[in-house]
Amino acid sequence: MALKLPRGMYALVDDGVRPEVSAPQKARWAIEGGAAVVQLRLERTADRQALAWIREVMDLAGEVPVIVNDRVDLCLAAGASGVHLGDDDLPVPVARRLLGPGALIGRTTRSVADVVRAKEEGADHVGLGPIFSTSTKAVNAAVLGLERFAALVRDSPLPVVGIAGITLDTIGGVSKAGARCAAVASDWLVAENPEARVRALVRAFGR
C-alpha cells in the first residue's frame, strides 16, 4: 500500500548544519518534537555511514515517514519510506521503477508546469520554492514569497511541501497558503533546545 504524505512540519536533517551532532540524534529531536516527516540530507556523509544512520533513523521513526534526499540507492538499501529528487538526480520514473509503487517520491519544483510534469512522471508530492531566501543550501531560483507561493499551491495537482528559509515566524503563513507540509532545517537545528523548537514549529503550522 502506498504511503501518503502526512500534513505538518517536515524536518530537514542536514549534515551540514551542526555537523558535530549525528543524524540519528537530530532525527530523534525532530521525531520527539512531533515532526510529521523527516528528510535526511546527508551530502557530507560517506555512504557506509549514511546507510547505517538511515537504518537507525528508520528504527526510531515509528509511523513517521523517513525520506532520503537525492539518493535512490541509499533509500532502497535502507528500506526508507521514500526519496526526494532534484534536477540533477535520477528521473522520477526511474526512481519509481526501482523503489516500487509504495514509496513516497517527491520532486523539487519551481512552477506549476514543473508540478504537472512531476505528476505525469509519477511523483507523489513536490517541494515548491524557494519561498524565502536561505543560506542552508544554494538555490539557483528566484524567491517566490508567500503570495506567489499560495497562488501556485492553489493550482498544484499534487500535495506541496513549502521549501527554503522557513522559520517559526513564517511557518504559519506557509500553512495558511495551503501547503501540506513546511520543510524546516536551520531554524530548529541551531536552536538551543531543538526538540522544543520543533514542538513550537509544529504548533505554529497547525493541523
CATH code for the domain in which residue 190 is found? 3.20.20.70
What is the dihedral sign for C-alpha 13, 142, 82, 150?
A: positive
The range of the structural domain enclosing residue 39 comes to: 8-205
b/e code 16-27 from CB counts within 10 Å (16+ = b): ebeeeebbbbbb
Whether residue 1 is contained in a domain is answered as no
With respect to residue 79, please indicate whether it lies within any of the assigned structural domains: yes
Read off the pLDDT of residues 69-101 as tens digits, 9 standing for 90 and up.
999 999 999 999 999 999 999 999 999 999 999
Contact 78, 101 (CB under 8 A): no
Under DSSP, the state recorded for 134 is: -
Q: Is residue 47 in a domain?
A: yes
1, pLDDT greater than 70? no
Amino acid letter, residue 130: P
Q: Is 184 among the domain residues?
A: yes
Do the domain assignments include residue 164?
yes
pLDDT in tens, 120-146: 999 999 999 899 986 656 566 788 889
Query: Tell me: the pLDDT tens digits for 31-41?
Result: 999 999 999 99
pLDDT at residue 4 in the model: 86
Cell 506567489, residue located: 148
Higher pLDDT, 135 or 7: 7
Q: For residue range 150-204, list pLDDT tens digits in order.
A: 999 999 999 999 999 999 999 999 999 999 999 999 999 999 999 999 999 999 9
Q: How many domains does the chain have?
A: 1
Report if residue 146 sits inside a domain.
yes
* Nearest alpha carbon to residue 115 among 46, 67, 162, 72: 162
Q: Looking at residue 137, what is its pLDDT?
A: 60
Q: What is the pLDDT of residue 2?
A: 60
Collapsing DSSP to helix, strand or coil, 195 comes out as: helix
Does any domain span residue 93?
A: yes
Position 135 scores a pLDDT of 65
For residue 29, the surrounding DSSP H or E stretch is: helix 23-33
Q: Is 2 within the bounds of a domain?
A: no
Share of the chain above pLDDT 90, in %: 90
Query: How many residues in total does the chain contain?
Result: 207
Pair 42, 55: CB distance under 8 Å = no
